[in-house]
Structure 1
Amino acid sequence: MASSQRQLRAMLRKNWLLKIRHPFATLAEILLPTIVMLSLIAIRTRVDTQIHPAQAYVRKGMLVEVGNSEVSASFDSFLKLLLNRHEYLAFAPDTNQTRKMLDVLSLRYPLLQMVATIYKDESILETYIRSDLYGIHDSTSNISNPKIRGAIVFHEYGPQVFDYSIRLNHTWAFSGFPDVKTIMDVNGPYLNDLELGVSIAPTLQYSFSGFLTLQQVMDALIISVAKQDVNYSAINYQVDGSFQLLGSEVRLTSSEFIPANIRIVPFPTREYTDDEFESLVKAVMGVLYLLGFLFPISRLVSYSVFEKVGLQGSVR
């Protein structure tokens, strides 16, 4: 024990002598980290920190009339667009509930019968879209494969639970981001970006693409049927465009079928702090720390190596 203490005192004395014999290097070890820290403190005291209160964005220019505006076209306009472009709206899976649902929608929207196609299940739909035969029209070989603009895939039917997905045929491209006429990329590098304030781009993306219109029509049908506590098999179709539930006097008209004045607005922004210090130093923080601590750490490592070499020499 006494030998270890004497060895420790001897090493500390030797290191102290090395420090005082190289005053400039020792001073640099102390001053470099201190200068870096003082510089950051000085910058921090010079910049402003602004607290933004919670803010809502319910004002003109932020509201999107779903299915009733230039931004979000009606379902009739959506079907006409499909008919003019020779594109189709796919439904899956091929079940009695899906076909009855199409019959109900066709009473209100007759064009749907001309642009709707049904697939056995979602996997068959995906296989067709990814195949080389997708969208090929060859009159000589009597081949006519439709282009799919969108798809509504049911995963679970009612009467109390409805689970479905809306899938649109859009190709994501990084050029021109954000393109409000394409669906936003849900897997790309822009997903987790922090945006201060409000961005109307995501709302416009879902509006121009027809996503909100399709969701409005499907949700309206589901709510109208589910609130009667029945399923599609209990629907009696009427010639005048309405439908009546079997065993009930309730008659659902078009005004009840599609709710009016559905509007989309951006979510309000929560209270947040805008710290300019972080935005100023984030580009040079790594360099400052490297310059400030590289020399002291390198000296510390070199001393440790010299001590280890010296101990090994003394043992031998």
Structure 2
Amino acid sequence: MNQPLQHTTVLASEAVDALLGGAAAPVGTFVDGTFGRGGHARLILQRLGAQGRLVAFDKDPEAIHEAARIHDARFSIQHQGFSHLGELPAASVAGVLLDLGISSPQIDDPARGFSFRFDGPLDMRMDTTRGQSVAEWLAGAEAAQIAEVIRDYGEERFAGPIAKAIVARRTQGGPIVGTAELADIVAGAVKTREPGQNPATRTFQAFRIFINAELEELQQALEASLTVLAPGGRLVVISFHSLEDRIVKQFIARHSKEMFDRRAPFAAPTPMRLKALGRVKPSAAEVVANPRARSAVMRVAERTEVPA
């Protein structure tokens, strides 16, 4: 019998501490935007007051299945991405936690197609019940579009040669449907790579981010957080690569100061909407225990009072 794939939650206690703001038994509504395997959610429920509530979101059907194991009247989950955060009532939420990226069970399951370490179907969808797989997209995408995705979402300097190699292989041998085949194509097109990094790392990251619209969804959720968070509510975001962290950092910085409209110099400025509370990295001990934590960055902000 196969053992269930395990996931170690990154910055677990730090994220929950930041989300709950030190309250002993908070009673508000909190949001876990990425339930995953429930690491953060279970810690939140342990500390939540009897009248508190936790609303979770996740695209992955396997995450929804795992969430069904939680029998707690304070908990609910929606089979949707966290871009649906804005559907919650305005100023109704005491805290929003977004743990971005991909979970270990998703990476380690060859059937999901996220990793070049195993040969499996070239899928990469977070939600396997809807949308287009990477294999389906690659079957018809032009070289210029493929190169743009690899460059923009993978920050890959060999994006052009990789895209040309993909199209050439597709033209000669038909659709690319497996992860091992894609990794082999990329390895043949990438001439140099940083020590210890697989040549396919950036390309696989790029295709995963693109096919799941991860950055667009993040931007939507961040904007929605300004509406749904009550004054004093916390926004906690854990990022695992520079593209995500840059979006979060710039969003918090932009809303942590008054905004002036240069086209209307005498108009009152838009008031500050967030207060930045800090940036946290995993401890050296956590990185040793869980190497996948090494690139994590957690940023925390608090919703400011809404002017009357």
Q: Aligning the two structures, in what range does the TM-score lie when normalised by the shorter sequence?
A: under 0.3
Q: How does the TM-score come out when normalised to structure 2? A: 0.24
**Larger % of helix: which?**
1
Q: How does the TM-score come out when normalised to structure 1? A: 0.24
Bigger radius of gyration: 1
Q: Which has the higher contact order (CA 8 A, sep 6+)?
A: 1
